[in-house]
């Protein structure tokens, strides 16, 4: 509900790569919570800062809609959804407040091992499978390359073997998944990591003071880690 504005509500991933590190970092900021039975909501005990446990893809939209105040999400997800919103003529509704130093990966273009890569123009007329259509389209436009973006929600790396696309644009960390699919990374579109996302503008009520306190503690906790 949008009624209670005297508490700060932070969306984090319910399960997955960012779930535990996000909780651990917020706990290192001195936050603690009482968990609800349905594991959707965690009520803040030491500070009026609550957690909402959701899918990472929902986090930017929850901030845009004002359902949550802040969120911990991959920069890749934040930039993709921002690009998508801009493409549909919407004003920016969220932005990166802090980079958090975990969940590192990159959004990369990968082509079959057998290709001799000689630059973006090689993609002209080709199909590229991705779950990041806004970021890929934006990059292709910047390069002046006319390629077809094939939108897949998962298993992007097998698309070339299935004949759905010639190349892919996907998240890479170790690169093992690419190797297993006879692909090689040739171009990085975005260096990503987990970020604290928030609205474009500052809060104009007590949430502003809570957010400032959280940011100070976050910066302290990050300094201790690095
Ligand atoms: P959800 O169920 O919440 O939708 P998901 O399957 O979309 O989960 P995860 O696979 O847990 O998400 O990845 C979450 C984030 O972790 C990614 O958006 C990205 O920022 C980061 N990440 C780091 N390394 C990788 C990687 N090798 N592959 C995918 N994501 C990675
Ligand atoms: Zn997801």
| pTM for this model (two decimals) | 0.96
Q: Which atom of ligand 1 is nearest to the CA of 76?
A: 20
Q: Which domains does the chain have, with CATH numbers?
A: 8-103+193-225 (3.40.190.10), 105-192 (3.40.190.10)
| Torsion angle of the four alpha carbons 160, 167, 84, 177, in this order, in degrees rounded to the nearest 10 | 70
* Look-up of token digits 């302290």: 220
Ligand 1 nearest atom to the CA of residue 173, by list position? 27
Name the closest-CA residue to atom 7, ligand 1: 56
Cβ atoms 134, 112 nearer than 8 A: no
**CA 156 to CA 169: how far, in whole Å?**
8
Q: Which of 11, 16, 190 to mutate to test the pocket of ligand 1 (most atoms within 8 A of CB)?
A: 16
Q: Is the CB of 74 under 6 A from ligand 1?
A: yes
- Average of per-residue pLDDT values in the chain: 95
Q: Is the CB of 171 under 6 A from ligand 1?
A: yes
> What is the distance in A from the centroid of ligand 2 to the CA of 17?
10
173 Cβ closer than 6 Å to some ligand 1 atom: yes
pLDDT score for 36: 77
Does the beta carbon of 81 sit less than 6 angstroms from any atom of ligand 1? Answer: no
Q: How far, in Å, is the centroid of ligand 1 from the Cα of 194? A: 10
Helix (H/G/I), strand (E/B), else coil: 44: strand
pLDDT at residue 185, rounded to an integer? 98
Protein residue with its CA nearest to atom 13 in ligand 1: 17
Spell out which residues have Cβ within 5 A of ligand 2, the ion: 56-57
Helix (H) / strand (E) element for 108: namely strand 105-112
pLDDT digits (tens, 9 = 90+) for 181-207: 999 999 999 999 999 999 999 999 999
Ligand 1, atom 24, lies closest to the CA of: 105
Question: What integer pLDDT is reported at residue 25 of this predicted model?
Answer: 97
What pLDDT, in 10s, does the model give residues 119-166?
Answer: 999 999 999 999 999 999 999 999 999 999 999 999 999 999 999 999
Distance CA 20, CA 12 (A): 9
Q: Is 76 in the pocket of ligand 1 (CB under 6 A)?
A: yes
Question: Quick check: 2 pLDDT over 50?
Answer: no
The sign one gets for the Cα dihedral 151, 140, 84, 106 is positive
């Amino acid at each position: 509900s949008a009624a209670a504005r005297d508490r700060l509500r932070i969306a984090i991933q319910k399960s997955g790569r960012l779930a535990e590190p996000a909780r651990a970092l917020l706990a290192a900021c001195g936050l603690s919570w009482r968990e609800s039975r349905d594991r959707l909501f965690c009520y803040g005990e030491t500070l009026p800062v609550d957690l909402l446990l959701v899918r990472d893809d929902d986090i930017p939209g929850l901030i845009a809609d004002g359902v949550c105040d802040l969120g911990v999400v991959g920069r890749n997800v934040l930039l993709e959804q921002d690009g998508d919103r801009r493409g549909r003529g919407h004003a920016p509704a969220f932005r990166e407040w802090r980079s958090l130093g975990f969940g590192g990966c990159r959004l990369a273009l990968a082509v079959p091992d057998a290709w001799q890569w000689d630059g973006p123009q090689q993609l002209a007329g080709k199909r590229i499978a991705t779950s990041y259509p806004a970021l890929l389209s934006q990059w292709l436009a910047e390069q002046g390359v006319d390629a077809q973006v094939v939108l897949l929600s998962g298993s992007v790396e097998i698309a070339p073997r299935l004949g759905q696309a010639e190349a892919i644009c996907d998240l890479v960390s170790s690169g093992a998944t690419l190797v297993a699919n006879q692909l090689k990374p040739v171009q990085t579109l975005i260096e990503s990591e987990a970020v604290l996302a928030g609205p474009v503008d500052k809060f104009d009520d007590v949430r502003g003071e809570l957010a400032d306190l959280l940011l100070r503690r976050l910066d302290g906790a990050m300094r201790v880690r690095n």
